[in-house]
Amino acid sequence: MLGKKKVSGRGETTAANYAFSPLEDDIIIKHRLLTRTTTTRGEPPLKKLQKKFTSFVLEVEKDEGNYNDCVRLSKTFLQELSTFEIPLLKSKAVIDANLREKENFNELKDEIDRQILQAQADIEDLKNQLEESKIERQHKEECEAIRKLIAMQPPRSETQKIITELEKEIAALEAENTAGSRLLELRKKQFALLLHVVDELQNTIEEDQKNLMEEMRMATEEQKNGTDDASGGLEAMIVD
């Protein structure tokens, strides 16, 4: 209980606000269902039934001739008991229906959970299929691009013809290269021979020049010696 307040004009103290835990709420609801009390107003049915039963028992325990009063009180008690029992039967029927509804709800919840798990598995499968489809589509696009590239190329017969002509040209060039290599080798030998001849010729010319110079030197010396001899004879003649 959190607090109380007074109602102005009456002077009565009533409960203002209440706070209960979930467990206390369950206990209060269970108590009200058992006692058939849904509000705080009026006398509880179970208390009324107890009073009827107490009145009947007290009347029965009397030693006086009160048969009619006992019958009247018993009928009143049975009527009150029937009035109290019918709502209980209704409540039991409602509880049974709620239990069945709860079981159906639990079964439905299990089925929904199973369907959710199945849907998640289906989503994963669809994701995998989507990835495979993307890869397959990419492969198809690559194959289509290669096919278009191949279609742009000339036929095989023309390609083979071009290859044959190129092979012939290559063979001719190789033959020409071989002939050129042989000619070049021959020219190398001829040039080496020419260099050798030129070298020999140069040596011969140098030797001839040396011989010529030697002959000219000897002729000069002979001429000089002859001149000296002529001068000596002249001098001797003059002395004589």
- What is the CA 71 to chain-centroid distance, rounded? 88
Alpha-carbon span 156 to 145, nearest angstrom: 19
Q: What are phi and psi of 115, to 5 degrees?
A: -65, -35
Query: What is the structure's pLDDT at 41?
Result: 55
Integer CA distances (angstroms), 34 to 47, 87, 90, in order: 12, 10, 12
Under-70 pLDDT residues of the chain: 1-26, 28-46, 49, 56, 59, 63-67, 69, 228-240
Q: What is the pLDDT of residues 18-74, one digit of tens each?
A: 444 656 666 766 665 555 554 445 566 667 767 777 776 776 777 666 667 677 777
What is the reported pTM? 0.35
How many whole angstroms separate alpha carbon 75 and alpha carbon 48? Answer: 14
- CB 36, CB 28: distance < 8 Å: no
Instruction: Give which of 42, 49, 41, 107 is closest to 73, Cα–Cα.
Output: 49
For residue 21, what pLDDT is reported? Answer: 60
pLDDT at 228: 67
Supply the pLDDT for residue 138: 93
